[in-house]
Amino acid sequence: MKQTNVPKYLKTLMDLDQVEREVPVTENNPEKCKSGLYRITDHYFTFWFQFVYPYRAFLERGEKAHVMEQI
């Protein structure tokens, strides 16, 4: 993906309340701050990326016991 396309997708995710942007409190102009961080706000996506995505191959093979041991 081209770096120039990323802001468009981030804005779309922010409009859908899936992602939020955090900037330092000390910033004078938070809209133009380059040190902002993006955080996933949707609980489903947070769950998916924390517990399902890393163990996807094990889950697809039906190795639920192994995944539960790792978690």
List residues bridging with 40 in a β-sheet: 19
What is the DSSP secondary-structure string of 15-47? HTTSEEEE--TT-S-GGG-SS-EEEE--HHHHH
50 lies in the same domain as 24: no
48 lies in the same domain as 70: yes
13 lies in the same domain as 24: yes
Distance CA 21, CA 9 (A): 13
DSSP state of 56: H
Greatest CA span in the chain, whole angstroms?
A: 52
62 lies in the same domain as 36: no
- Whole-number pLDDT of residue 12: 93
pTM metric for this prediction: 0.62
Q: What is the pLDDT of residues 8-67, one digit of tens each?
A: 998 999 999 999 988 887 777 777 777 788 899 999 999 999 999 999 999 999 999 999
Instruction: Note down the domain range covering 4.
Output: 1-40
2 lies in the same domain as 34: yes
